[in-house]
């Protein structure tokens, strides 16, 4: 699977910046700088974080600089239960109520459904019927545990990021939605799940956006899903984002970094050019050179490449 050229996902030229309605951010894993920079620059109406936040401070503090600029929504990922700190900085933060897991919420004019966490076969393998699940719900798991086995008198911390059949079925029975955000990937991904596709189709969504795999993937553009598929799907990498709606210009893939800059990158890095273009850089507010250039910052990226070409350390 080839990584998607980020410019196809991210970039918005100056005249398009006001059109950013909704932005989806890949797994931050504790680094919120690229997200804050992108929100300050593009001012979307709302953002959705796709899990694995691992905030080092309570999430509302981490995102304090942008809370007045945009509406923040999220789902959790598997790593949000790695430690007590990961757990508390999300579930005990003032933004905990913005978790979309298991429900549909109207955000920036779209009905957005959320399914956080991952499937764990010790609880439920969704390739098997629900009746074969070891535990239908978190409550059923808790009741099976002896008091001394419990974490804070409840289920193990880890299973707060497990998808239980009850969560999935509740969402399946929700009213129709426009967009489904998940941490797990749809079936077209090598590590994806048919259960995500079934959920998307039942909800009638036009769009599925997921995190977890640290890849920018446009499933249609990469030939992983047919144009006739009932929904479009995107994976979003850590440090990256997907802006929605995509405008007609970007649908054609015509908005990319300028060709001379791509040529210069190829001259400087050879076969590694795309890797450099797709790697977040501290000089660019943590954004990738490709995204930064395509969003109007080509001059800065060009001067970085010139510096590297002439022996500078960038
Ligand atoms: Fe994950």
- pLDDT attached to residue 19: 57
**Quick check: 211 and 50 in contact, CB under 8 A?**
yes
Ligand 1 center to 117 CA (angstroms): 8
Ligand 1 center to 44 CA (angstroms): 25
**Quick check: 263 and 309 in contact, CB under 8 A?**
no
Intervals of the chain under pLDDT 70: 1-20, 247-256, 271, 312-314
Q: What are the sequence ranges of the domains in the chain?
A: 7-246, 252-309
Ligand 1 center to 79 CA (angstroms): 6
Ligand 1 center to 53 CA (angstroms): 9
Omega before residue 245 within 30° of 0, cis: yes
- pLDDT attached to residue 139: 96
Ligand 1 center to 272 CA (angstroms): 27
Ligand 1 center to 159 CA (angstroms): 14
CATH code of the region 7-246: 3.60.21.10
- pLDDT attached to residue 248: 33
Ligand 1 center to 31 CA (angstroms): 15
Tokens at residue 103, please? 């429900």
Q: Torsions phi, psi of 201, nearest 5?
A: -70, -40
Which residue is associated with the tokens 């239908």? 136
| Separation of alpha carbons 276 and 31, rounded Å | 19
Ligand 1 center to 215 CA (angstroms): 12
pTM for the full predicted model = 0.76
- Strand 22-25's sheet: what is its strand order? 71-74, 46-49, 22-25, 241-244
- pLDDT attached to residue 12: 36
Query: From start to end of the chain, where are the E strands?
Result: 22-25, 46-49, 71-74, 103-107, 110-115, 179-182, 207-210, 217-218, 232-235, 241-244
- Ion ligand 1, residues whose Cβ is below 5 A away: 52, 77-78, 212
- Strands 179-182, 110-115: pairing is parallel
- pLDDT attached to residue 311: 79
- pLDDT attached to residue 314: 59
Per the DSSP assignment, residues forming a β-bridge with 5 are: none
Ligand 1 center to 48 CA (angstroms): 15
- pLDDT attached to residue 66: 97
Per the DSSP assignment, residues forming a β-bridge with 71 are: 46
Q: What percent of the chain has pLDDT over 70?
A: 89
């Amino acid at each position: 699977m080839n990584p998607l050229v980020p410019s196809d996902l991210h970039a918005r030229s100056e005249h398009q910046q006001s059109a950013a309605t909704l932005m989806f951010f890949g797994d931050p894993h504790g680094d919120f700088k690229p997200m804050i920079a992108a929100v300050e620059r593009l001012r979307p109406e709302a953002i959705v974080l796709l899990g694995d936040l691992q905030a080092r401070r309570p999430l509302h503090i981490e995102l304090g600089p942008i809370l007045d600029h945009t509406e923040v929504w999220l789902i959790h990922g598997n790593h949000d239960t790695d430690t007590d700190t990961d757990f508390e900085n999300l579930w005990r933060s003032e933004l905990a109520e913005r978790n979309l897991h298991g429900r549909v919420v109207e955000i920036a004019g779209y009905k957005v459904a959320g399914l956080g966490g991952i499937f764990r076969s010790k609880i439920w393998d969704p390739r098997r019927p629900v009746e074969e699940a070891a535990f239908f719900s978190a409550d059923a798991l808790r009741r099976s545990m002896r008091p001394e086995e419990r974490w804070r008198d409840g289920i193990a911390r880890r299973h707060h990021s497990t998808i239980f059949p009850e969560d999935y079925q509740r969402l399946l029975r929700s009213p129709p939605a426009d967009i489904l955000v998940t941490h797990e990937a749809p079936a077209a991904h090598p590590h994806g799940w048919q259960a995500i596709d079934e959920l998307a189709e039942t909800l009638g969504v036009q769009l599925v956006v997921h995190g977890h795999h640290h890849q920018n993937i446009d499933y249609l553009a990469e030939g992983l899903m047919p144009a006739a598929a009932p929904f479009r799907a995107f994976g979003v990498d850590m440090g990256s984002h997907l802006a929605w709606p995509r405008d007609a210009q970007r649908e054609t893939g015509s908005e990319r970094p300028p060709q001379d800059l791509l040529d210069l990158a190829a001259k400087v890095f050879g076969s590694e050019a795309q890797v450099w273009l797709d790697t977040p850089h501290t000089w660019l507010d943590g954004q990738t050179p490709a995204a930064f250039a395509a969003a109007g910052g080509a001059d800065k990226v060009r001067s970085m490449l010139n510096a590297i070409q002439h022996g500078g350390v960038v």
